A and B are shown apart, each in its own frame.
Chain A
């Protein structure tokens, strides 16, 4: 069982917006602003899309945005494009002997 809870799958049509949730606890998502999101295409390494809850690394499209409320973080992708179809993982710092936890991943299908 993953430390952070994500929906197994979400879908949307091109041009639409979707949101992926990531629920943790006060020991991770709720307690720190060290939340990140990764995009992974099949057979590839993950790619950092969001860090510090809502910041985008250089080169990441502004169609990707992040937010947090309480113990739940969210990734929103606006103006869906075919190339956005991928798996998405959230991650958070956790105050424990294992300081990095991931969500189970969400498969995004662009219809």
Chain B
């Protein structure tokens, strides 16, 4: 069965960086785009960006340009999301999510990781 397993909770100080992993299993890793979506406490969902694990192409939301980096490791079927220059407003649960359709970008998130809480506090 398809699974996305994320790394554990993080506590960071303002100005630091955080790198979250998302390990995929149960399907062909390079056949599906992966997205990152975050959710601040008590707030809605916010799209951060997308990575194509096959060709390592990425696209980021304008809001996060310059602060976010998405990478992948095909040998371990893992994608990573690094967010730098953290501020208190970045405190949120970060989710990775796999698209519904193989090889074609459809922007529908059918499988989700369990979420990783990142707390930014001095």
A interface, CB within 8 angstroms of B:
2, 34, 36, 38, 45-48, 51-52, 57, 89, 91, 93, 96-105
Contact = CB atoms under 8 A, between A and B. Distances in A.
Contacts of B12: none
A89 B61 contact: no
Contacts of B85: none
Interface residues of B, number: 21
13 contacts: A34-B106, A36-B107, A45-B115, A46-B95, A57-B110, A89-B44, A89-B45, A98-B61, A98-B62, A102-B44, A102-B45, A102-B47, A103-B44
Contacts of B46: 102
Nearest to A4: B44
A93 B107 contact: yes
A102 to B, nearest CB: 4
A51 B110 CA distance: 10
- Please list the 8 inter-chain residue pairs (A to B) with the smallest Cβ-Cβ separation, ordered nearest first: A45-B112, A100-B47, A51-B108, A98-B61, A102-B45, A105-B44, A97-B62, A104-B44
A99 B107 contact: yes
A51 B99 CA distance: 11
Interface in B57-73: 59, 61-63
A47 B110 CA distance: 7
Contacts of A2: 44
B47 A57 contact: no
Contacts of B95: 45-46
B59 A99 contact: yes
A81 to B, nearest CB: 22
A102 B109 CA distance: 12
Interface string B95-109: 101001000001111
A89 B45 CA distance: 8
Interface in B15-63: 35, 44-47, 59, 61-63
Contacts of A38: 45, 109
